A and B are shown apart, each in its own frame.
Chain A
Amino acid sequence: MVDTFNSLMMGFSVAFQPQVLMYAFFGCIIGTLVGMMPGLGPLAGISLLLPATFGLNPIIAIVLLSGVYYGAMYGGSTTSILMRIPGEAASVMTCVDGYAMTQQGRAGPALAIAAIGSFVAGTLGVIGLMLMAPTLASFALRFGPPEYTALLLMGLFVLAYMSGGSMLKTLAMAVLGLLLGMIGIDVMSGYTHFSFDIVELGDGVGIVPVAVGLFGISEILMTAGQADPPKVQQPTLRQLVPTKADLKLSVGPIMRGSLLGFMIGIIPGSAHIISSFVSYGIERRLSKHPERFGNGAIEGVAGPESANNAAATGAFVPMLALGIPTGPVTAVMLAAIMVHGILPGPMLIQQQPDLFWGFVASMYVGNVVLLVLNLPMVGLFVNLLRIPYAYLYPCILAFCILGCYSVSNSTMDVWIMLVMGGIGYILRKFGYDLAPVALGLVLGPMLELSLRQSLAMSGGDYSIFVQRPIAVTMLVLGLVLLGLALKPLIFKSKDWRSSVGLDDPID
Chain B
Amino acid sequence: MADVSGQQGTAHSGGLRSDQVSGGVLIALAAIVVWFNREFPVGTLADPGPGYVPLLLACCLGGIGLVVVFMGARTEAMATMRWPEATRALIILLACVAATFALERIGYRLTTAAFLVFFLGVIERKHPLSVMLVAAGFSLGSFYVVGTLLKVPLPVGPWGF
A: residues with CB less than 8 A from B are 51-52, 54-55, 168-169, 171-172, 175-176, 178-179, 182, 186, 188-189, 191, 193-194, 217, 220-226, 390-391, 393-395, 397-399, 401-402, 405-406, 409, 411, 414-415, 418, 421-422, 425, 427, 429-432, 447-448, 451-452, 455, 459-462, 489, 506-507
Q: Chain A at the B interface: mostly helix, strand, loop or mixed? A: helix
Residues on the A chain within 8 Å of B47, using CB: 455, 460
Q: Is B77 an interface residue (CB 8 A)?
A: no
Q: Mark B54-65, 1 if CB is under 8 A from A, else 0.
A: 100110110011
Bound-state Cα–Cα, A403 to B106, Å: 18
- Is there contact, CB below 8 Å, between B46 and A168? no
Q: Name B54's contact: one of A182, A397, A429 (CB within 8 Å).
A: A182
- Is there contact, CB below 8 Å, between B120 and A397? no
- Is there contact, CB below 8 Å, between A401 and B150? no
Q: What is the distance, in angstroms, from B92's C-beta to the closest C-beta of chain A?
A: 6
Bound-state Cα–Cα, A507 to B142, Å: 43
- Is there contact, CB below 8 Å, between A55 and B151? yes
Q: What is the distance, in angstroms, from A463's C-beta to the closest C-beta of chain B?
A: 12
Residues on the B chain within 8 Å of A409, using CB: 153
Residues on the A chain within 8 Å of B138, using CB: 395, 398
Bound-state Cα–Cα, A402 to B141, Å: 13
Bound-state Cα–Cα, A425 to B91, Å: 14
CB-nearest residue of chain A to B145? A52
Q: What is the distance, in angstroms, from B6's C-beta to the closest C-beta of chain A?
A: 17
12 more CB-based (< 8 A) A-B contacts, given A225-B85, A391-B124, A402-B154: A51-B150, A176-B61, A182-B57, A186-B50, A189-B50, A194-B36, A225-B88, A394-B124, A429-B81, A451-B53, A489-B71, A506-B71
Q: Chain B at the A interface: mostly helix, strand, loop or mixed? A: helix
Q: Mark B20-61, 1 if CB is under 8 A from A, else 0.
A: 011000100100010010001100111111101110011011
Bound-state Cα–Cα, A405 to B85, Å: 27
Bound-state Cα–Cα, A489 to B64, Å: 13
- Is there contact, CB below 8 Å, between A432 and B22? yes
- Is there contact, CB below 8 Å, between B71 and A390? no
Residues on the B chain within 8 Å of A168, using CB: 64, 67-68, 71
Task: Report which residue of B26, B81, B153 has the largest number of chain A beta carbons within 10 angstroms of its beta carbon.
Answer: B26
Residues on the B chain within 8 Å of A390, using CB: 120, 124, 126
Residues on the A chain within 8 Å of B112, using CB: 398, 401-402
- Is there contact, CB below 8 Å, between A175 and B64? yes
- Is there contact, CB below 8 Å, between B116 and A395? yes
CB-nearest residue of chain B to A176? B61
Q: Is B83 an interface residue (CB 8 A)?
A: yes
- Is there contact, CB below 8 Å, between B142 and A399? yes
Complex interface residues of chain B between 64 and 79 (CB less than 8 A to chain A): 64-65, 67-68, 71, 74-75
Q: Is B4 an interface residue (CB 8 A)?
A: no
Q: With contacts A175-B64, A186-B50 known, is A52 near B150, CB below 8 A?
A: yes
Q: What is the distance, in angstroms, from B42's C-beta to the closest C-beta of chain A?
A: 12
Q: What is the distance, in angstroms, from A301's C-beta to the closest C-beta of chain B?
A: 30
- Is there contact, CB below 8 Å, between B93 and A418? yes
- Is there contact, CB below 8 Å, between B18 and A221? no
Q: What is the distance, in angstroms, from B123's C-beta to the closest C-beta of chain A?
A: 8
Q: Name B48's contact: one of A54, A223, A452 (CB within 8 Å).
A: A452
- Is there contact, CB below 8 Å, between A394 and B115? yes
